[in-house]
Amino acid sequence: MKKSLVMFSQRIFSYKDLGLLIFRLGVGGMYMWHGFPKITGGVEKWTALGKSMEILGIQFAPAFWGFMSGFTEFFGGLFFAMGFIYRPMCLLLVSNMFVAFSTQMLEGKGMMKASQSLENGFSFIGAFFVGPGKYSMDEYLGFNSPQQGLLSDSKSEESI
């Protein structure tokens, strides 16, 4: 049994980048779907959405906060799906999910309602550490490779 599981695991491992692509497209696409009505809803929709920040003690510029939430969901989802500036997008989406979870809990909606935000937040934290995989814009642009980072040329290493 162990030998079969090891063989299966080794065979599947070679498809990890395909799995990350499917994950990114699915989750990113759903965030775009959820964010589209928020980003296109206009000032009235943004204000209503942004008023949820009051529960965290932030009472100024509700339209701005609502817009930023919709922007984060739609464009964060798009960039997440593309694997473009992936890790910053993960952090932006984690912060959006933290606010969603916190406001739902503080409004007394309970864990059954708030759990989706918490689960999504944990998914983005995990995605932050795993990275976008080789089928991504970050990989194409060289943002995903430690060998192509700021310390890759000898001038940068000498100045440290």
Summarize pLDDT for 136-158 with one digit per residue, the tens: 999 999 888 766 544 444 444 44
**In this structure, is residue 109 part of a structural domain?**
yes
Enclosing domain of residue 86: 15-143
Q: Which residue has the tokens 């090891």?
A: 6
Would you say 139 and 83 are in contact if contact means Cβ atoms under 8 Å apart? yes
**Global confidence as pTM:** 0.84
Q: Which of 79, 86, 93 is nearest to 138 (CA)?
A: 86
Asked whether residue 76 is domain-assigned, the answer is: yes
Answer yes or no: are the C-beta atoms of 134 and 19 closer than 8 Å.
no
- Residue 160 in domain: no
Is residue 122 situated within a structural domain? Answer: yes
Reading the block at residue 147, the tokens are 């060998």
User: Is residue 53 assigned to a domain?
Assistant: yes
CB 32 within 8 A of CB 77: yes
CA dist 80 → 90, 127, 138, 142 (Å): 7, 10, 10, 16
User: Chunked in runs of 10, what are the mean pLDDT values of the chain (160 residues)?
Assistant: 88 92 97 95 94 89 95 97 97 95 91 93 96 94 70 46
Query: pLDDT by residue (tens digit) across 41-61?
Result: 999 999 999 998 888 899 999
- Does residue 26 belong to any structural domain of this protein? yes
Number of domains in the chain: 1
Residue 80 domain-assigned (yes or no) = yes
At 74, the amino acid letter reads F
